[in-house]
Structure 1
Amino acid sequence: MSTIAENISTLSEQIQAAAHAVQRDPASVGLLAVSKTKPANDLREAYAAGLHDFGENYLQEALSKQLELADLPLIWHFIGPIQSNKTRAIAENFAWVHSVDRLKIAQRLSEQRPAELPPLNICIQVNVSGEDSKSGCTPQDLPALVDAICALPNLRLRGLMAIPEPTDNHDEQNAAFATVRTLQDSLKLPLDTLSMGMSHDLEAAIAQGATWVRIGTALFGARDYGQH
């Protein structure tokens, strides 16, 4: 069975190849380890193999891991849907939030961000495929949400995040990610982050400018959702 370190090595080679194919610097693409449902020891192993950034979807599980791994200088990203009653703990314990999709959540994160911490890095989640089951701001509502978030004092808007409808068709993957890139370009702001692409579509995401690819299964193996 492959180890986490071997999986990271394989993924790094994939990312490098995808970046080189479109004349991008591989260092401009970050590997965000999606560690939901995985035990703290797996994250420790991934850190030992060179990863520092970890994405979590479930708040209580993430807080438990943060305590267990407090001896490591990990950078924590919240990437799941956000309920209003969870914003304080997210504002206090994460460096990044990729899944902001409405102003109320952004306002609470800004108000509840501790003064001694730097501004919280924010990505706005956009629903580019129009799926009812997906979170995300509509492309039409994006400009107004961007303007409002930029006015909040304790947040730093970094860019957009998207989870397009899954498909194995490379042209469809490219088209969805190109839509996200075009939306970000249309904002005409100095944004530096596109959080998009997972194990099955990272090549297309990188071709369209992804700066974070969010990888879980290909890194840690299949998940057990029993506890959730």
Structure 2
Amino acid sequence: MTSISANLQAVNARIVSAARAVGRDPATVRLLAVSKTKPLADIRAAVAAGQRAFGENYVQEGVDKIAALAGEGLEWHFIGPLQSNKTRAVAESFDWVHGIDRAKVAERLSAQRPADMAPLDVCIQVNVSGETSKSGVAPAAVVPLAHVIVALPRLRLRGLMCIPEPTPDAATQRRRFATLRETLEGLRLDPALAGQRFDTLSMGMSHDLEAAIAEGATIVRIGTSIFGARTAAMASPQAAGG
């Protein structure tokens, strides 16, 4: 068994344990393996161990990996901050985008999504800890942005995503994840959004996945616990999975 295979088993065991601890079905939590900066060999090892969904933070790196692994039938999520001048490559290559925080980016992704591909699944990124350095809209701004996104023909708004400020305090972790859950519940109650499929809470990383699952995470974004730590030079303050 490779170390990546063993790591995947350990992470999946954590997910199962965390879900059962709060009375949830573990099958309702998906593991997104964050493979940013990692070589193709590591991704292939994860694929051989049964992992199918991968997250990338950097547009060109992600596009290159998608092309190299095109025959594997994998699901690719863009989870980093997205500049409007790079939306076309993401719209043409990825299956999901987790970090929508501007109407302009959403509009460009919809316009550039090829007609022969399924609509692009997207999440709105919410700044749940109020950091000025962090991307994401304030909870109060989610509903207006959701109204814009659901009207776009080539996007499918699935839910919300957050990257809280790191903290070892479990109570603080849960409070911030609860903010995202409550914001999604508010979306579901908006009459203008009736009938939309809001089924996704993308939250939780290597250090806080238990708290995220306790508050309803449906996707946890795990990189370090699967592939090992990145070097300091490659670390990013906007890291969306770890």
TM-score by length of 1: 0.97
Q: In structure 2, what is the Cα distance between the partners aligned to 1:20 and 1:131?
A: 32
In the other structure, the counterpart of 2:214 is 207
Letter matched to residue 158 of structure 2:
R
The answer to whether structure 1 residue 89 and structure 2 residue 89 are counterparts is: yes
Q: In structure 2, what is the Cα distance between the partners aligned to 1:2 and 1:178?
A: 36
Runs of 4+ in 1 over 6 A off after TM superposition: none
Distance 1:166 1:226, change over 3 A: closer
The answer to whether structure 1 residue 217 and structure 2 residue 229 are counterparts is: no
In the other structure, the counterpart of 2:121 is 121
Q: Structure 2: 5+ residue runs without aligned partners?
A: 189-195, 236-242
The answer to whether structure 1 residue 59 and structure 2 residue 36 are counterparts is: no
In the other structure, the counterpart of 2:26 is 26
Pairwise CA distance, 1:67 = 2.0
Alignment of 1:5-16 (within 5 A): 5-16=5-16
Is the contact between residue 36 and residue 56 of structure 1 (CA under 8 Å) also seen in structure 2?
yes
Q: In structure 1, what is the Cα distance between the partners aligned to 2:101 and 2:233?
A: 28
Q: Structure 1: 5+ residue runs without aligned partners?
A: none
Q: In structure 1, what is the Cα distance between the partners aligned to 2:233 and 2:210?
A: 31
In the other structure, the counterpart of 1:75 is 75
Is the contact between residue 37 and residue 225 of structure 1 (CA under 8 Å) also seen in structure 2?
no
Q: In structure 2, what is the Cα distance between the partners aligned to 1:212 and 1:4?
A: 20
Q: In structure 2, what is the Cα distance between the partners aligned to 1:93 and 1:104?
A: 19
In the other structure, the counterpart of 1:175 is 175
Deviates more, 1:55-64 or 1:187-196: 187-196
Pairwise CA distance, 1:95 = 0.4
SS in structure 1 opposite 2:72?
Answer: coil
TM-score by length of 2: 0.91
Pairwise CA distance, 1:64 = 1.5
RMSD: 1.4
Using the aligned pairs only, state the percent identity: 60
Pairwise CA distance, 1:225 = 5.5
SS in structure 2 opposite 1:152?
Answer: coil
Is the contact between residue 162 and residue 203 of structure 2 (CA under 8 Å) also seen in structure 1?
yes
